[in-house]
Amino acid sequence: MTEKPDILRIAIAQLNPTVGDVAGNLELARTARADAARHGADLVVFSELFISGYPPEDLVQKPAFVAACMDAVNTLAEDTSDGGPGVIMGVPWRENEDRSSGLYNAIAVLDGGRITATRYKVDLPNYGVFDEKRVFDAGPLSGPVDFRGVLLGIPICEDIWGELGVCETLAETGAEILIVPNGSPYYRDKMDVRQAVVMKQVVEAGLPLLYNNQAGGQDELVFDGASFVINTDHQLAVQMSQFEEAVTVTTWRRGDQGWYCKEGVMSQIPDGDEADWQACVLGLRDYVNKNGFKNIVLGLSGGIDSAICAAMCVDALGEERVRCVMMPYHYTSRESIKDAEDCARALGVRYEVVPIFEPVEGFQSTLSTLFEGTGSGVTEENLQSRARGVILMAISNKFGSMVVTTGNKSEMSVGYATIYGDMNGGFNPIKDLYKMQVYGLSAWRNKCVPPGCLGPSGEVIPQNIIDKAPTAELREGQLDQDSLPPYPVLDDILESLVENEMSIDDIVARGHEKAVVERIEHLLYVAEYKRRQAPPGVKITKKSFGRERRYPITNRFRDRD
């Protein structure tokens, strides 16, 4: 019989794997294990599907990919023959590589040079950004695993969120500690939700719980880390940092009432504004770096959206990797030209002015016969935006820079963005921020420099940009509120429609005019085709556009009496 220890040191490896980089993720794991060994760890816990990167989506339907992941885990298992820490590793897993068995979202326990146990995720999420039922089979309810005399229950992420009784089963079959590998993406106030879920499981199972979450950006998702431990007395024993990689060793002791974790690192979790900013910056940084772009380019108009995007780009990548281009036309005010220059100077970025008079007038000349007898309007306004888009894409093609787009969620909701114009680009850090959130974060950033951000302190977004009325400057005297409700009103209506799926009557009951709400609902629906063609961007709210909100493009439903 294995001797039961009284002390167990568990390292939480809160790291940033890259989807598909199996060899790179293996090396990350080896480095983390070596670090944990130097600090006396007995066991290293990695996040959900770490070896493949999370979420791997349909990559796991490729047999060669699953085989590569399994081979990497077997290689790591051999490493544990050195007598050092054991490993809990997340991996897509088939019991039979000939595809005669199911494919599971699994963990493998590695110790003594071999795989000593596997466990499979039971509760596969199929909502929001998750599609796991599409690619994985659900595992059975299983008991704990014996790691060096300690019975560990290892539910995987959703297993502690659902109602399938995974933790209850583990407790009833002898588990002494719950260890939960996670791939839990960020949205505002998510930490409070997670800790409430964990507290419920601690209370019901009567066991302490270690929650390890991935850190880093993957396409539109940002995994914020913030791993933690809660003991059976309901007290937080360990709180790791948010939006940062770290390996932290936790110390566990067996007492009269079972296992408990000694108080360890206790990082401060940032408030809402700082967390949103950190998420946007981390998502942008990882998208650029993981996809191999050396630098980025964006149009700097003198408006609030491009200014905040420029600041986020510098915070993510440093001023030397950011290029800003002002592209004035007849309707661009002197104020905007000055504001753009002031913003570029404050951020220290490369800044150039490329007028668009000739290309726009060239398009107008080319189309003059076709357009004869028609009045000037939105078509001519869009020519300006599309000329700017062509210039930015040309710079991208010539110099290998990724174009950052700058449309906010309010604009994307109602279609106030030009397809093949200002929607051109590779990534949008503010895609899931409403206009008023953009203003609030801009004012906040002028007062604060979050940890890990590379930009300067002080006023990086000129106050005049924040104060002036928003305008696209596509015609003389144009203001956004000529054709839209004031942004506080618009954003409340949109949040009610998008995040909360409220009825027209319920939104009207909040104090809005029915005709305005009906118009905004109509604009929201008819802009779906544009959003389908928009670049990806960081998820910040509970319901972002894209994989989390899949509405049909052809859609005649309207919420009417």
In whole angstroms, how large is the CA radius of gyration of the chain?
26
* CA distances to 368, 400, 495, 517 from 373, in Å: 9, 42, 42, 36
Residues paired with residue 224 on neighbouring β-strands, in sequence order: 215
Residue 418, SS3 per DSSP: coil
With contact defined as beta carbons under 8 Å apart, do 547 and 220 qualify?
A: yes
Beta strands of 80-182 (E only): which ranges?
Answer: 86-94, 103-111, 114-120, 145-147, 150-153, 177-182
Catalytic residue from among 69, 132, 157, 548: 157
97 is catalytic: no
At which residue do the structure tokens 């300067």 appear?
Answer: 456
At which residue do the structure tokens 């998820």 appear?
Answer: 539
In terms of Cβ atoms closer than 10 Å to its own Cβ (0-12, 13-18, 19+), residue 172 is: exposed
| Of the candidates 556, 545, 497, the residue with the CA atom closest to the CA atom of residue 521 | 497
Catalytic residue from among 4, 57, 78, 121: 121
What's phi and psi for 502, nearest 5 deg? -80, 155
Catalytic residue from among 3, 4, 27, 48: 48
The whole-angstrom separation of Cα 190 and Cα 185 is 8
448 is catalytic: no
528 is catalytic: no
| Of the candidates 190, 181, 142, the residue with the CA atom closest to the CA atom of residue 160 | 181
What's phi and psi for 93, nearest 5 deg? -140, 135
The whole-angstrom separation of Cα 417 and Cα 79 is 53
* Active site residue ranges: 48, 121, 157
